[in-house]
Amino acid sequence: MHPQSLSRRQLFQLSGFAGMGLLLDSCGLNEYSTAVGNAIDPLNQRVEELLLKPQALAREYPISSIDPNALIINSFTDVPQIDPTTFKLIIDGAVNQPLQLSMNDIYKLPLQTMVIQHVCVEGWAAIVQWGGARLKDLIALAQPKNTARYVYFESGDGYYNSWDLPSAIHPQTLLAYQKNGQPLPVDNGAPLRLAAPIKLGYKQSKWVTRVTLMNQLPIKRGYWEDQGYEWFGGL
Ligand SMILES: Nc1nc2c(c(=O)[nH]1)N[C@H]1C(S)=C(S)[C@@H](COP(=O)(O)O)O[C@H]1N2
Ligand SMILES: [Mo]
């Protein structure tokens, strides 16, 4: 089941709930109306168009294809300590509405599940089901600026990674908190990990703590990418 795209009205409602956890700076009560104003600002057209533009969907599999043992844990360090009850996902950078969202905020977004193939360049693949919030919905809540072209991900273990904006707002790109219908195990990236059928395994950061929209990429583009792996990492 794919929840429908958020309508503008739904986004405003979500902005309302997200407001409770927002990084409110000086604007105070005007923050909400500022966000509404920015959403219809013609300068934002490019990002808005991108958010509304349909993208081709990657293959999904029936639930019966899930192989519960096929997904190999692949981490370059030990798992980081993240307390999901106090954890806040930061969304910042080239956005009009920087956000700090608790897991409860994120659970209020539409839950999308998908059974997809995970492909690791080390020579294994697995059919796995992920469930979580669409990154697109989270990015839309933060009101990206029209200059945003890239999304940078920081993880609790020091892993870092960056994506092109169209892939980040692809309808099958999730910040997942479920695996095979269960809460996401810590080894697989709990409380939040990237999951998408359009990118190789090393693009799918586990333990994501911060999502930063950028106009340009920094020199350090990704943990594996900086050691020679291809940056786009498409499937
Ligand atoms: N934070 C973090 N994310 C990461 C990695 C990592 O070492 N640290 N490894 C990547 C690689 S190479 C793969 S194949 C997948 C593996 O996901 P899994 O451990 O849930 O199977 O996570 C990716 N995301
Ligand atoms: Mo991998």
- What's the rounded Cα separation, in Å, for the pair 50 and 228? 30
- Domain with 71 in it: 63-227
* % of residues, the chain, pLDDT over 90: 74
CATH code, domain carrying 92: 3.90.420.10
**pLDDT of 183-225, one tens digit each?**
999 999 999 999 999 999 999 999 999 999 999 999 999 999 9
Q: How many structural domains are present in the chain?
A: 2
Nearest 5°: the CA angle 139, 59, 69 is: 95
Residue 139 belongs to some domain of the structure: yes
Q: Looking at the CA of residue 73, tell me the nearest atom of ligand 1.
A: 19
| Complete DSSP assignment for 22-43 | ----TTTTHHHHHHHHHHT-GG
In a domain, 57, yes or no: no
Residues 89 and 153 in one domain: yes
Q: Does residue 154 share a domain with residue 106? A: yes
Task: Indicate if 176 and 110 belong to the same structural domain.
Answer: yes
- The reply to whether 37 and 70 lie within a common domain is no
pLDDT-based confidence at residue 43 (cuts at 50, 70, 90): low
196 within domain boundaries: yes
Please indicate, yes or no, whether residues 8 and 72 belong to a single structural domain of this protein: no
pLDDT in tens, 75-124: 988 899 999 999 999 999 999 999 999 999 999 999 999 999 999 999 99
CB of 177 closer than 6 angstroms to any ligand 1 atom = no
Atom of ligand 1 nearest to the CA of 74: 19
Q: Is the CB of 117 under 6 A from ligand 1?
A: no
Let me know if residue 234 belongs to a domain. no
pLDDT band at 44 (very low <50, low <70, confident <90, very high): low
Q: Whose alpha carbon is nearest atom 18 of ligand 1? A: 73
108 found inside a domain = yes
Domain annotation covers residue 41? yes
Residue 132 pLDDT: 98
Do 198 and 166 fall within a single domain?
A: yes
Whether ligand 1 lies within 6 angstroms of the CB of 74 is answered as yes
Does the residue 101 lie in any domain? Answer: yes
Residues 102 and 204 in one domain: yes
Residues 8 and 68 in one domain: no
Q: Is 180 in the pocket of ligand 1 (CB under 6 A)?
A: no
Residue 23 has pLDDT above 60, yes or no: no
- Judge whether 235 lies within some domain: no
Neighbours of ion ligand 2 (CB under 5 A): 74, 120, 201-202
DSSP helix/strand/coil, 225: helix
Pocket lining: 76 vs ligand 1, CB cutoff 6 Å: yes
pTM for the full predicted model = 0.85
Which stretches of the chain are assigned E, i.e. beta strand? 88-93, 99-102, 112-120, 124-134, 150-155, 160-164, 174-179, 182-183, 193-195, 208-214
Burial state string for 167-205 with b = 16 or more CB within 10 A and e = fewer than 16: bbbbbbbbbbbbbbeeebeeebbbbbbbbbbbbbbbbbb
